[in-house]
């Protein structure tokens, strides 16, 4: 009888161990499934956040691209026609016309006050004024566009950094699954 009792006890122990093993396996599978779902949700949130960052920075990227293109126009890098059009736009701008009128009036008023209205110095000053003003406005426009280009460059760098961080985070999450 002791052999039979030992066999029954051994069988009960095996049954109990098998049942416990199945319960642990089921719990492990449920935990793994929950982890996979959590990682998938985290990956989706990472992508959503990156898309939101891209959307927020897009206007700055576009402004920078336009600023760079306009700088290239002023330098003649996009062709002589675009360079001439950029110069003409500045030359015919309301700012150029207002500054030219004010500057020429100031030269004439000074000449009138000093009695040199018809003198050669006045004529020379008037002849040099508009080209110098145009040169100054072109340089100013180039500098202003440089600010836009910098804004776009910074936005592009921020987008790139966010993309790299997102990729790294998603890669880490994918290794968990």
Which tens digits make up the pLDDT trace of 156-172?
A: 999 999 999 998 988 88
Query: Distance of alpha carbon 126 from its chain centroid, rounded?
Result: 45
Long-range contacts of 129-136 (CB under 8 A, 24+ apart): 129/100, 129/103, 129/104, 130/100, 130/104, 133/96, 133/99, 133/100, 133/103, 134/87, 134/90, 134/91, 134/96
Predicted pLDDT of residue 75: 96
Strand intervals (E) in 57-177: none
Predicted pLDDT of residue 118: 75
pLDDT at 147 over 60: yes
Which tens digits make up the pLDDT trace of 86-101?
A: 999 999 999 999 999 9
User: Are the C-beta atoms of 83 and 73 separated by less than 8 Å?
Assistant: yes
Better-predicted residue by pLDDT, 30 or 151 = 151
CB hemisphere CA count around 31 (13 angstroms) = 6
Give φ, ψ of 116 to 5 degrees. -110, 30
Which tens digits make up the pLDDT trace of 51-63?
A: 999 999 999 999 9
Percent of the chain with pLDDT over 70: 88
Predicted pLDDT of residue 175: 82
**pTM exceeds 0.95 for this model:** no
Which tens digits make up the pLDDT trace of 126-137?
A: 999 999 999 999
User: Are the C-beta atoms of 60 and 155 separated by less than 8 Å?
Assistant: yes
Predicted pLDDT of residue 153: 94
Tokens encoding 45: 């949130």
Residue 77: helix, strand or coil by DSSP? coil
pLDDT at 102 over 80: yes
Predicted pLDDT of residue 40: 86
Confidence of residue 2 (pLDDT cuts 50, 70, 90): low
């Amino acid at each position: 009888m002791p052999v039979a009792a030992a066999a029954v006890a051994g069988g009960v122990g095996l049954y109990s161990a098998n049942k416990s093993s199945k319960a642990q396996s089921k719990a492990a599978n449920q935990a793994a499934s929950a982890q996979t779902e959590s990682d998938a949700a985290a990956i989706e949130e990472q992508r959503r956040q990156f898309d939101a960052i891209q959307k927020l920075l897009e206007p700055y990227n576009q402004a920078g691209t336009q600023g760079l293109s306009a700088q290239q126009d002023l330098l003649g890098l996009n062709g002589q026609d675009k360079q001439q059009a950029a110069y003409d736009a500045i030359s015919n701008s309301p700012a150029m016309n207002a500054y030219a009128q004010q500057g020429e009036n100031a030269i004439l008023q000074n000449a009138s006050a000093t009695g040199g209205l018809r003198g050669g110095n006045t004529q020379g000053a008037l002849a040099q004024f508009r080209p110098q003003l145009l040169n100054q406005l072109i340089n100013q426009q180039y500098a202003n566009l440089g600010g836009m280009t910098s804004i776009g460059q910074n936005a592009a760098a921020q987008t790139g950094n966010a993309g790299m961080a997102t990729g790294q985070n998603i890669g880490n999450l994918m290794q968990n699954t």
